[in-house]
Structure 1
Amino acid sequence: MEDVVIAGAGPNGLMLACELALAGIRPLVLERLPEPTTENRANGLVGQVVRLLDRRGLHERLAGPIAPPVPGFVFGALRLDLTLVDRNSLTVLGVPQRRIAAMLEERATELGVEIRRGHELTALTQDTDAVTLDVTGPDGPYRLQTRYHVGADGGRSVTRKLAGIGFPGVTEDRTVSHSANVTVPAEFTDPASGGLRVPGHGVIPPFFHYRTGTGLFAYAPFPTGTLVTAMEWTDDEEAEDEPPMTLDDQRASIRRVLGFDLPLGEPEGDGPHLLRRLRGRNTRLAEKFREGRVLLVGDAAHVHSAIGGPGLNLGLQDAVALGWKLAATLHGWAPDGLLDTYESERRPVAERVVMHTQAQSALISPGGDVTALRELFGELLRLPSAVQHIADLMSGADVRYEPGTDHPLDGRWAPDLVLADGTRLAELTTTARPLLLDFTGSLGDERHGWRDRVDLVSGHTNGDADGDATALLIRPDGYVAWASSSARPDDTERKALHAALERWFGRPLDA
């Protein structure tokens, strides 16, 4: 019997596989496609997930050292001036999704994960002890049994359907977008900003959603090739035999949105190059993220507009949030109800992503009333407090799981600490193990009963810690389970530390 079978070898399924392998569980990954897809569904990562990859040593594989947060971003085709905020955690990594998936597959393979391509899940049943899966592979059908099964198989998840989990929501079919990798003549680019000069519109900033009366335009000069997208509002229905999209379709769409014939050339390089037409938008949230021994991550649990790039930020963090809890359950030391906290913590995060993508979709819609709303919203975005709120929302920095104490860091993402010897927190978390950081030199004995599960690091910080923390208990997913700002924690704080250790990492060895 397998411990865990994961359906789906996209980024979310592969990230979960890596997390489980780091925790000593060897999952089996089933992927219905015989080869990795060449389709590029995303062009980068936005928000906390960039820092998460850094804390697993994976950012270095993709792009070297992590870059500082960006000075500006976009919300509903309105500019966010992030120079106005005190805390900017909106980091961006411009790497195509296919490269992210390839890197995660390489890492999973290094960790001993078995990935079976061309193997499709066709049936699923479960009882109190196991899940039975019927699978069709290149050599015919076969059956598997597993203690847990995870669906990371996308918005049309077979796992979700076979488990009988509803997927309520709405489908909006008034839009059609055309996206393509192209070349643009040099005379249309603005050297100062990196933006695009368009007669009648001025300079459209790079990576900016530009709204007109008829649609939305975006220009993104990635190192791997320039991407242009034009989204229109339409009453046309999708034809059953709609022909494949062409570069002429892209040119025509841009003409309708901008009122200008932007010269587009064929993309450079070997590809694969994006040439995609999408109709409508789906916004759906699974009725539950768990049904018995079956769980959902990523798009299998939630789909929403891609505006603002939140999809992989949400899905990859789902995977990391689930991985350590599922491993603890399989190892037998998980406290009662730990696996249930996967949904209780991640559903509210998904609901907020659904909320802000719907809000952004409203802000880019046509109509004079929306234009008036945008004017008011633009005034609000000159207020530092409003920009801070939205930047935290977009990055995921506003996430706070239920704290056990009133310390301001409890339940939040652990700050990017640097020890006095120059060691970054990211270098201490690559093993995905729970971590007690003790800068007081007094807590070593407190963690003794959990020494098989929780690592201890003592020392001093460089003085830049958020909240003047002197000690932190950090969960494998990067969130703080307990914190202190005392030079020497008193009995009350030590009791709270014991409670946090037991709440998240089970009973001590000598109990």
Structure 2
Amino acid sequence: MLHDVVIAGAGPVGLFLACELRLADLSVLVLEQNEDSQSPLRRLPFGLRGLSVPTAEAFYRRGLLDEIASSQPAKEGPGRGAQAAAHWMQQPRRPGGHFAGIQFFHDNIDASKWPYRLPNPAGSGLAVTMEHLEAVLAAHAHAMGVEIRRGLGVEGFDQSGEDVSIRAGASTFRGRWLVGCDGGRSIVRKAGGFEFAGTDPEFTGYSVDVEMADPDRLNPGRHYTPAGMYTYSPPGTIAMVDFDGGAFHRTQSVTLDHVQTVLRRVTGIDVALTALKLAATWTDRAYQATAYRKGRVLLAGDAAHIHSPLGGQGLNLGLGDAMNLGWKLAATIRGSAPDGLLDSYFEERHPVGARILDWSRAQVAIMRPTASTRALEAIIRDLMETRDGATYFAERVWGVSLRYDLGDSHPLAGRSAPDFELGGGTRLAQLLRTGKGIFLDFDARPHWRALLSRWSDRISYVGGDADDRLGLSALLVRPDGVVAWASETGQDPEEASTALGRWFGRPSEA
């Protein structure tokens, strides 16, 4: 059987991408090396991941947000109540997030700096466990008709001008396209000969679940020490960083004695461990593929970029890849894509990835166990306590400042579309659930309806006013929720036609 797309990896990125492709009624096969989707490590507190604003909005626009947010410790934000959260959320002031463990707070954030944002259920993001997120996405993928084969990891492939032949175990599968969402050690990336460039690690990070003879000897929370950093969540969950140049990561087994030795060195406290229940290591290695596509093979998520898990931005980066790539690859397969549409995936997402890698490197610079670093940390703390400082860090951590360079001077172009509330209480996000583009005509002008009728198979025309139109007359929204064109006057059909052709191809013949 020839599938339209074969995806390597059934993590959140691969599953979400599969769902995006199914919106276009494409046949999708997901191959996953692990037979069991459950990992004990993902049920621990350090398995909690913060979803940024763009990620939460993506799930909201696909009707998944409520299910993903259910029974999860969520950050409190507009439209979302406070729920149980990690220890650093249980404070008199509401933290908005952190940079290398240094917190910024909601009461310092100036939301007026984001005039084109309207309140929506995504709020300022939320926190979920990886276990819960993957379960929701897997169930949604199954319901949409995605075929998921576990226990079959991609081992190699050969591609021609027409398709890709993929080897997995004793089986061979064929797809018109192959997308590697198979993690930081991606077989697809290696077999495809993609260049992977970046910076080597400075530390080995540990995430462990232990039993201690005297757990009260460690104070809960995040702590910087002369030897590194550690975070303690009672009764026995510990994350710590040992600046050894990444020497221990995946070089030998993680034993109780080793963890105890590192913990004593990092904390400076004579802690006695009695049992090691779970352990994982990680580093701050920051690498990125120099290309996201070779022929009919593409990369997304950790297969395209890796960095330390500090701040949890890797998951958001990968899910953003999936949202950006899905509709473009689908249009390419359907034959409606304009020239260069698939190439815009790399053009838009590679700079976002590079920025996140630098954000990760900057956090490592604040964590180094040196006197100069501690002095710099003090300055950063002071800046984050200012209104402008907290707002800047909120923009970066929440992803509010994300904007693709579309070459359009309008301040909304390239940004996430505001969640306009239209007549009857319908919101823009609800209209985006079909995976089609949206043209909002707030003044219901006949010439826009006539123009959009030529793209009716790819774009939904919506005429009518909104509760708050933000001074706009009309705008074009891509299937991923990004504004492609906007106008205050509604009197520029040539510019609109150019944007329509650029993102949705040639109009249908009458």
Q: Which TM bucket (shorter chain)?
A: 0.7 to 0.9
The structural deviation recorded for 1:499 is: 1.1
Could you report, residue by residue, the CA deviation over 1:285-314 in whole angstroms, capped at 9, with x for unpaired residues?
A: 012100011000000000001111101100
Matches of 1:235 and 1:504, distance apart in 2: 45
1:327-379 Cα deviation digits (max 9, x unpaired): 00011110011000000000000000001000001111110111121122223
> Higher helix proportion, which one?
2
Name the residue aligned to 2:362: 359
Alpha-carbon distance change, 388 to 90 in structure 1, aligned in 2, over 3 angstroms? farther
1:416-455 → structure 2 map (5 Å cutoff): 416-442=419-445, 443-455=448-460
> Counterpart of 1:8?
9
Change (3 A) 1:135 1:468: same
CA contact (8 A) 2:201 2:245 kept: no
Deviation at 1:153, TM superposition (A): 0.6
| Alignment partner, residue 330 of structure 2 | 327
Provide the residue aligned with 1:50 in structure 2: 56
Match of 1:68 among 64, 70, 77: 77
Displacement of 1:226: 7.9
For residues 452-467 of structure 1, the aligned pairs below 5 Å read 452-463=457-468, 467=470
Work out whether residues 40 and 96 of structure 1, in 8 Å CA contact, stay in contact via their aligned partners in 2: no
CA deviation digits over 1:388-447, x for unaligned, max 9? 232222222222212353221111111232335333332222222211122211132231
Contact kept, 8 Å, 2:203 with 2:241, in 1: the verdict is: no
Deviations 1:12-59 (A, max 9, x none): 111100000012112111112222141445412331212221221112
CA distance in 2, matches of 1:405, 1:344: 15
Q: TM-score, normalised by structure 2?
A: 0.85
Percentage identity across aligned positions?
A: 37
1:506 corresponds in structure 2 to 505
CA contact (8 A) 1:215 1:233 kept: yes
2:147 corresponding residue in structure 1 = 114
Deviations 1:196-216 (A, max 9, x none): x966xxx74xxxx43222222
Amino acid at match of 1:311: G
The counterpart of 1:346, out of the listed 340, 344, 349, is 349
Count of residues paired in the alignment: 475
Residue type of the partner of 1:68?
Answer: G
Q: CA deviation at 1:498?
A: 1.3
For residues 449 and 250 of structure 2, what CA distance do their matches in structure 1 show?
66
Over the aligned positions, Cα root-mean-square deviation in angstroms equals: 3.0
Residue 496 of structure 1 deviates from its aligned partner by 1.4
Tell me the equivalent position of 2:88.
none
In structure 1, C-alpha distance between the alignment counterparts of 2:168 and 2:247, rounded to whole Å: 36
- Give the aligned partner of residue 103 of structure 2: 79
2:386 to 372, 383, 387: 383
Among candidates 239, 248, 251, match of residue 238 of structure 1: 248
Of the three residues 186, 189, 194, the one matched with 1:157 is 186
Q: Any conservation in 1 of the 2:218–2:232 contact (CA below 8 Å)?
A: no
CA distance in 2, matches of 1:121, 1:374: 44
Q: Is the 8 A contact 2:158 2:166 kept in 1?
A: yes
The Cα offsets for residues 224-255 of structure 1, whole Å up to 9 and x where unpaired, read as x9843222334794398844444x86666555
**Hey, what does 2:90 align to over in structure 1?**
none
- Partner SS for 1:95: strand
> Which residue of 2 is the match for residue 229 of structure 1?
239
Contact (CA 8 Å) 2:96, 2:394: kept in 1 or not? no
Task: Quote the Cα distance in structure 2 between the aligned partners of 1:405 and 1:261.
Answer: 59
Kept in 2, the 8 Å contact 1:245–1:277? The answer is no
- 1:131 is matched by which residue type in structure 2? V
Is this contact kept in 1: 2:206–2:239, CA < 8 A? yes
| Structure 1: runs of 5 or more not aligned | 189-196, 267-272
Corresponding position of 1:269? none
Residues 1:54 and 1:161: Cα distance change in structure 2 (over 3 Å): same
Q: 36-45 vs 91-100, which deviates more?
A: 36-45
- Per-residue deviation at 1:2? 1.7
Question: Within 2, Cα distance between the matches of 1:375 and 1:411?
Answer: 35
**1:251 touches 1:261 (CA, 8 Å); kept in 2?**
no
Which position in structure 1 is the counterpart of 2:158? 125
Shift in alpha-carbon separation, 1:386–1:45, aligned structure 2, 3 A: same
Q: Give the TM-score normalised by the residue count of structure 1.
A: 0.84
1:172 to partner: Cα distance: 1.3
2:127 is the alignment partner of 1:94: yes
